[in-house]
Amino acid sequence: MILSKNIKKKGLNFMKIKEIKEKIKIGIDKIGFAMPKYFLDIRDLALGRNENENKFVKGLMQSEMSISTVTEDIVSLGASAAAQILDEEDKKNIDMVIVGTESGVDQSKASAVFIHHLLNIQPFARCIEIKEACYGATAALSFAKNYIEKNNDASVLVIASDIARYGIDTPGESTQGAGSVAMLIKKDPAIAVINDENVCQTRDIMDFWRPNYSDFPYVDGHFSTKQYLDCLTTTFEEYKKRYSQSLDDFDAFCFHLPFPKLGLKAINSILEKNIEKEIKNDFLEKFHTSIIYGKRVGNIYTGSLYLSLLSLLENCVNLNGGDKIGMYSYGSGAVCEFFNLTLAEGFKNHLRCDRLNDFENRKQLSMEEYENMFFEKIVLDEEGNCDFSNNKFIQESDNSFVLAKIENHKRVYKKLNE
Ligand code: HMG
């Protein structure tokens, strides 16, 4: 029915009809999330920095920040997120592992290679790392989709893994975080189909960047928020024009969330002025379910859009199979993309409904503990060794993998709970 309407409208020829009929659906089949065991209450940060707590709680809409330890990095968190979702069959079918990150552990070797080994994925796979600030994982999804279009029975593991550290007493400090989202991409996915319609935009700007010699990013904070919002409105306008779509075509939106208040500004900027109150409230209600996890984790750079998707799908009671989710990905520098997903029938059966317990089971840090833990530097001896085996963070970790030691400058990871 929909097919014949489209064919009439667009006057498609026979070959095109055949192509549409045969086009396979590709998308997210499984999704997992790993975060560190520790968090800082944002009100403690405000107190410690002589700020009014409402600046962070209301002004940024942030509540907590995930704090990683020296025994965690994007490899251990990424492998832990993936370990939650993969079974032995998946590991035999994964042809490619792509990690989107801007907190890589090596300038040469891809983190995906470590993760491929830790997860015991079949050997004839390709493993790479993709970088463009917070946009990396979205580029990885697109790469994965293109690959599966040509290799229909393959699966691709896409991992978005980052640790966002701005430094002590900086304007960005209240927007830090750490965590990884892992997604298994394949045909006929159980959670959501990644549709073809998308628009990207690139602007050569210096809103946020981290030179190789610096542990922390340089940020033009207010300029970055303006660029994020302007890229959204201009890209969404172009998207609507190119695909003859409007707000009516969407059931919910997810945004890259450097802090949740920017997401609220983002949704308000695309809801038309004359929109019916009921429809506006429905979009806003769904938006608020999409920030539940982000509010408690902070910015996880390239994973933050996908954490917002996970939050929406696991917490919204108002979504059904067939619903369309508008997705806005933004990476400083800057590259953005607006694309969309269609939810699969029964998607809820493939998600967790008890994830909030994981947040409750974390340990709260004092300001002093936070400063010591999050900014602890690895100190190597003359031979390039450092051993964390007896580190209490390893004993306390709930994740599947940790960084156990560095031996002769080589990172060595350990599987826990074996
Ligand atoms: P700031 O300049 O210290 O804060 O840091 P502010 O003065 O702009 O205040 C923040 C908000 O709190 C404002 O709300 C204030 O009014 C409000 P707004 O007017 O914008 O709606 N406020 C209060 N509200 C209630 N009670 C109070 C109170 N006081 C103030 N008492 C800034 C803000 C975002 C600049 C800073 O956090 C920062 O630099 N963050 C890092 C950069 C960032 O997150 N940029 C976002 C866009 S770029 C992006 O998303 C890419 C990124 O993820 C990186 C990548 O791609 O890799 C960052």
Q: Residues of 40-65 as b/e, b for ≥16 C-beta within 10 angstroms?
A: bbbbbbbebeebeeeebbeebbbbbb
If you take atom 20 of ligand 1, which residue's CA is the nearest one? Answer: 59
pLDDT at residue number 150: 96
- Catalytic positions: 102, 134, 256
Token representation of residue 41: 């209450």
Is the CB–ligand 1 distance for residue 301 below 6 Å?
A: yes
Report pLDDT digits (tens) over 104-155.
Answer: 999 999 999 999 999 999 999 999 999 999 999 999 999 999 999 999 999 9
The answer to whether 78 touches 111, Cβ cutoff 8 Å, is yes
Could you give the domains of the chain? 26-345+364-415 (3.40.47.10)
pLDDT at residue number 16: 54
Report in angstroms the alpha-carbon separations of 12 from 1, 19, 127, 390: 15, 10, 38, 66
Report pLDDT digits (tens) over 19-36.
Answer: 555 689 999 999 999 999
Is the CB–ligand 1 distance for residue 102 below 6 Å?
A: yes
Is the CB–ligand 1 distance for residue 54 below 6 Å?
A: yes
pLDDT of 243 over the 70 cut: yes
Is the CB–ligand 1 distance for residue 355 below 6 Å?
A: no
If you take atom 38 of ligand 1, which residue's CA is the nearest one? Answer: 172
Ligand 1: atom nearest CA of 222 is 35
Confidence of residue 3 (pLDDT cuts 50, 70, 90): very low
281 is in an annotated binding site: no
Q: How far is the CA of 222 from the centre of ligand 1 (A)?
A: 7
